[in-house]
Amino acid sequence: SKLAQLCYKSNDILLATSMLIDGSLMNVMYQKPFFHVTLETITTTLLKNEEDLPPTVPQDRYNQEIVPVLLKALDGIEWLDEEAKRIFTKRISNNLNSAPNSNKLEACFSKYGYVLTKADKKAINMRNSTFHGTLSSEKKPIQAQQDEMFAVSLRLHKLCSILLLKAADFSGKVLNNEVLFGIKSACEDKEPIYVEL
């Protein structure tokens, strides 16, 4: 019932939850980017009103010491056209000091007390290449990558589910589908069949 309440409070959580369910029925090759979007949506929504992500440098110090130096350097580039200067000035002033997206995604898990494994972090950090259009490796045939894509999709699905369940105050065990499906890396790492939340 608490998960249903989360869905009623936020359209984005409702859509992300639906994507999580529907994404499981998609072709394996489409699941990874689909679940990256789902994970991004869940974390953005759950951290929306939070101060969980500190800036790269304390904001006051950034504004006082770094912004003036960067803006002066930018003004010193004579060949740069006005539109480029406007764009760079806006970035320096507004979002250059924000934490990277991977930090945001990982911070959401620590907020809910879930410790990410090395394999979890690797799957999360694939988001940058996914969102910039790299959906597979060009070094080997697409068919040869299906097992790896399936493994990443299962892990992302599990991570999305964990966040939703933790946000709904669930405690208990969830099934680790990577182990259930016999994914080699998960089995070799002796991951448990149940993840304790």
Q: Residue 17 has what pLDDT?
A: 94
Q: Residue 48 has what pLDDT?
A: 81
Q: Residue 53 has what pLDDT?
A: 64
Q: How many CB atoms lie within 10 A of CB 195?
A: 18
8 Å CB contact between 119 and 186: yes
Q: Residue 99 has what pLDDT?
A: 65
Buried b (16+ CB within 10 A) or exposed e, 83-101: eeeeebeeebeeebbeeeb
Query: Going by C-beta distance under 8 Å and a sequence separation of 6 or more, which residues neighbour residue 150?
Result: 28, 31, 181, 183
> Considering the entire predicted model, what is its pTM?
0.78
Q: Residue 174 has what pLDDT?
A: 93
Q: Residue 15 has what pLDDT?
A: 95
Q: Residue 102 has what pLDDT?
A: 57
Q: Residue 97 has what pLDDT?
A: 77
Query: Going by C-beta distance under 8 Å and a sequence separation of 6 or more, which residues neighbour residue 94?
Result: none
**Residue stretches of the chain with pLDDT short of 50:** none
